Amino acid sequence: MLTTPGRFITFEGGEGVGKSTNIQAVARHLESQGISVVVTREPGGTPIAERIRNDLLKAHHEEPMSDMTELLLMFAARAQHVDAVIRPALERGDWVLCDRFTDSTIAYQGYGRGLSLDNIEQLKALAQGGIEPHLTLLLDAPVAIGMGRARARAQDLAEETDRIEAEAISFFEKVRQGFLALAERYPRFRVIDATAPLEQVTEQVLKVVADELEHKKQQAES
Ligand SMILES: Nc1ncnc2c1ncn2[C@@H]1O[C@H](COP(=O)(O)OP(=O)(O)O)[C@@H](O)[C@H]1O
Ligand SMILES: Cc1cn([C@H]2C[C@H](O)[C@@H](COP(=O)(O)OP(=O)(O)O)O2)c(=O)[nH]c1=O
């Protein structure tokens, strides 16, 4: 893993579990402590990667997208995002808060679509060039709860359902199990119960981030 002065925190979980809402709360908290923060998302985060996101999620294509194309486009967007945004920010010493990263690829394309986890690891090494999250917050909730919230949000904002959101519940069950398997495996994960009321979830999230801030201070002092 490449060592940089900044901190890289990723937010993961299924649809509608509260990632975007809680990222904003964390950004406000860190900025109030005088920390430079970059809030970004995947797929996306740069003009090229946002164009790939549109192709992946929104554009109406005249043919079905193959699972391998979907996987490679996720990593094409990520390579651009890492090179143009994430690595430079970490080298400046900023904290990067990212709404989804490679754990989403393992959960959705690996566990959900059934693509080879070994292939995903190879692409990950190519696209990330040694950049790894220091901390990953997994917001976990039963699929029906997250989907219910995502649908209500889409109605409020008059948004169309995107290509991946339109998958069957059984797909999202596999995705959730994928995230939980990753959380068991990697110590950088903290699992947050996202079924609780928003204020409680945000309180938990801020506590985890405060611990990370303390850890970073101790490292700087030693
Ligand atoms: N703990 C919660 N309880 C109730 N509603 C929530 C909670 N967390 C988020 N929401 C709402 O659910 C919707 C989806 O949240 P959002 O942050 O957009 O999720 P994500 O980014 O994970 O898709 C939003 O309308 C948000 O206000
Ligand atoms: C980053 C990433 C996202 N995705 C999917 C998950 C989401 O369905 C979609 C990104 O949309 P997003 O806006 O993050 O969804 P939501 O706010 O509803 O959680 O792309 C993958 O399948 N693989 C990936 O590597």
Indicate which atom in ligand 2 lies nearest the CA of residue 164: 8
Tell me how far the alpha carbon of residue 164 lies from the centroid of ligand 1, in angstroms: 18
Could you give all domains of the chain from N- to C-terminal order, each with its CATH number?
A: 7-221 (3.40.50.300)
Contact at 8 Å (CB) between 86 and 96?
yes
Q: Is-above-0.90 flag for pTM?
A: yes
Contact at 8 Å (CB) between 38 and 133?
no
CA gap 102, 120 in Å, rounded: 9
Protein residue with its CA nearest to atom 22 in ligand 2: 108
CA gap 7, 126 in Å, rounded: 21
Task: Show the ligand 1 pocket: residues with CB < 6 angstroms.
Answer: 13, 15-21, 149-150, 153, 194, 196-198, 201
**Dihedral sign of CA atoms 190, 184, 135, 117 in order:** negative
Residue by residue, pLDDT tens for the chain (222 residues) are 778 789 999 999 999 999 999 999 999 999 999 999 999 999 999 999 999 999 999 888 899 999 999 999 999 999 999 999 999 999 999 999 999 999 999 999 999 999 999 999 999 999 999 999 999 999 999 999 999 999 999 999 999 889 999 999 999 999 999 999 999 999 999 999 999 999 999 999 999 999 988 988 888 888
Tell me how far the alpha carbon of residue 220 lies from the centroid of ligand 2, in angstroms: 35
Indicate which atom in ligand 1 lies nearest the CA of residue 14: 22
Distances (CA, A) of 31 to 26, 39, 89, 134: 8, 11, 15, 19
Distances (CA, A) of 93 to 5, 110, 211, 216: 5, 32, 18, 12
